[in-house]
Amino acid sequence: MLSFVHGDHIEFGPTVTHSRRKQKRRKSLVVNKKEKINSRVSIEGVFDYLTLEKVTDELRSQIIVTDLNLENINRASIDYEISTYGNLEDLENLLDINSNFIQLEGSSRNKLIYKYLDI
């Protein structure tokens, strides 16, 4: 694996570039623990109880999540109220890092909408 530093950016050799195309880009997450918010998040792609458990466990295991409440169950989606350290962008970054969640169009500051992929 080769990488070269040029000024303010790093260029990766072909092997790393190819690997990065297959993965979501990793971001570092720095959160202000003095700040805490409640957010509404809708997760689509939940068709059965097993998937509901997986999604709930995955969200609960995230380090910035302090509380998680199931608000509503629809045919193929679930709505949560999630309390987290940091701000809304921190929660979005956290979910973007996780390969199981893909943000969907229609997300807003009032309600984030993601699709769950059981990988």
Domain definitions of the chain by residue range = 36-116
First vs last C-alpha separation in the chain = 26
* 8 Å CB contact between 114 and 41: yes
pLDDT tens-digit map of 47-70: 999 999 999 999 999 989 999 999
Which string of DSSP letters, residue by residue, matches 43-94? EE---SHHHHHHHHHHHHTSTTEEEEEEEEE-SSEEEEEEEEES-HHHHHHH
The mean pLDDT value of the chain amounts to 80
What is the CATH number that goes with domain 36-116? 3.30.1360
Q: Which two tokens stand for residue 24?
A: 């979501």
Total-model pTM = 0.71
